[in-house]
Amino acid sequence: MTAGRYAPSPSGDLHVGNLRTALLAWLFARSTGREFLLRVEDLDTGRSSREAEAGQLADLAAIGLDWDGTVVRQSERGIRYAAAIAELDVYECYCTRREILSAPSAPHAPEGAYPGTCRDLTEAERVVRRRERPAALRLRSSVHEFTVTDQLHGEHTGAVDDFVLRRGDGTYAYNLAVVVDDCAQGVDQVVRGDDLLSSAPRQAYLTSLLGGTPPTYAHVPLVLGPTGVRLAKRDGAVTLAQRGGPTVVLPEIAASLGLRGSTPQEMLGGFDPARLPREPWTLPVG
């Protein structure tokens, strides 16, 4: 099986930017003969809710999207994540975010990259640090950068540091969960917002370490609010219900992408990724 997917975080209602990306993920998958899967990224239990999940799935169905199989929830897949970590070279890290940001960076490393503070601690030093705070687990990376190919951006080379796989509170990190799930579900096509392009090299590298083949990527332009920054709920009428429902929102999205048709199925016939806009779309004030 080959598949594309859409994987929202159930922390609230989807906005027009989320729906636009979901439509694109569906079009990319269906136009290439792939299955289209839905996965709920609910690892952040403090922000996720089943009520929000139900509302999101209802909105996706309302704009005409269908999906294959059952919806997968990351909160139910901890055994898979633990098994993946057991296959990798990891080490304990006790650094806080503040300590990482204030530590000297390695030469040529991007801002915020982990400087390797805990990488070579002795076991005696680790015993002391464990008394101070719970340890996160970091990947001991053997590369400093990795290259992916994106259908809209071409080749993209990004930094790979010793990134977190499991947080100090025991929560599995997004970079681990998304890779494990994509590999397990046969996802070989990833379509998502271009704000996540910088994370693709890390995830593709981790995929290779776990014996998988990195997926093909298409990082699509974001939707901006009236102030020119990424669309957010504070920007007013941005959800499906607030803007008048699918008969209003779907034509808006289609026009922004140069697509014709009143349903996703009708848009599929003329869908051509090469003709998609490369610039962000500013949502008109609703």
> Which residues are known binding-site members for Zn(2+)?
93, 95, 114, 118
Output the known binding site.
Answer: 5-9, 41, 93, 95, 114, 118, 174, 192, 233
Q: Tokens 């001991």, residue?
A: 140
Residues 6+ apart with CB under 8 A from 134: 168, 169, 170
For 221, list phi and psi in degrees, rounded to 5: -60, 150
257 burial class (0-12, 13-18, 19+ CB within 10 angstroms)?
A: buried
Output the known binding site for ATP.
Answer: 233
DSSP one-letter string for 117-168: TTTT--HHHHHHHHHHSPPEEEE--S-SEEEEEETTTEEEEEE----EEE-T
Is the CB of residue 174 less than 8 Å from the CB of residue 202? Answer: no
Start-to-end Cα distance in the chain: 41
Is the CB of residue 190 less than 8 Å from the CB of residue 216? Answer: yes
Give the containing element (helix H, strand E) for 217.
strand 216-220
Residues in the chain: 286
Output the known binding site for L-glutamate.
Answer: 5-9, 41, 174, 192
Question: Beta-carbon neighbour count of residue 155 at 10 Å?
Answer: 8
**Cα–Cα dist 274/222, whole Å:** 17
